[in-house]
Amino acid sequence: MNKPLCRLVSIFILLMIILLCSACSEEKKLKVDAYNNSGAAYISQGQYDLAINDFNKAIQLVHINPTSYYNRGNAYYSKGQYDLAIKDLSKAIELHKRNENFYYYRAKVYKSNGQYDLASKDLNKAIEIMVDKLR
């Protein structure tokens, strides 16, 4: 095979790989969204263990999605498992530091856990982020 044709075939193969990867990523995103949505529905029905199971599946698919950790933290909070809730909410914050809702919810968990100083710090951070967004 001549060099220009070989190069063209290589470029074509590379483009096909990129397209396939993006299709897989989109399919994963849809699955993660579905697990997060069904988990949220389970929370609204008070079925926290089923919700946690769905959020675990979402995290297994994409372990860098802060929403899945936030949602699972919400389920743990609803079960009164504050330490697990704090751990997940902290992970959500680590992945997305500029989401005031994550700080607010973690403050709520800290308050319920009797950790008032930490709750206050998180509330102040949530307010700071909201004010920055208004500028």
The CATH number of whichever domain residue 49 belongs to comes to 1.25.40.10
pLDDT band at 12 (very low <50, low <70, confident <90, very high): low
Contact 99, 130 (CB under 8 A): no
In a domain, 6, yes or no: no
Quote the number of domains for the chain: 1
Residue at 61 is within a domain:
yes
Within a domain: 126: yes
Which of residues 5 and 55 earns the better pLDDT score?
A: 55
Residue 24 resides in a domain: no
Kindly state the average pLDDT of the residues 11-35. 70
Tell me which of 26 and 90 has the higher pLDDT. Answer: 90
Task: Please indicate, yes or no, if residue 16 is contained in any of the structural domains.
Answer: no
User: Tens digit of pLDDT for each residue in 104-122?
Assistant: 999 999 999 999 999 999 9
Assess if residue 2 is contained within a domain.
no
Q: Number of helices (H) and strands (E) in the chain: give both, helices first.
A: 6, 0
- What is the pLDDT, as a whole number, of residue 20? 46
Residue-level pLDDT at 11: 63
Residue 39 belongs to some domain of the structure: yes
Mean pLDDT score of the chain? 90
| Per-residue pLDDT at 19 | 46
pLDDT at 40: 97
Asked if the structure places residue 83 within a domain, the reply is: yes
Residues spanned by the domain of 91? 31-134
Higher-confidence position of 106 and 9: 106
Quick one: pLDDT at residue 23? 52
How many Cα neighbours within 13 Å face the side chain of 63? 1
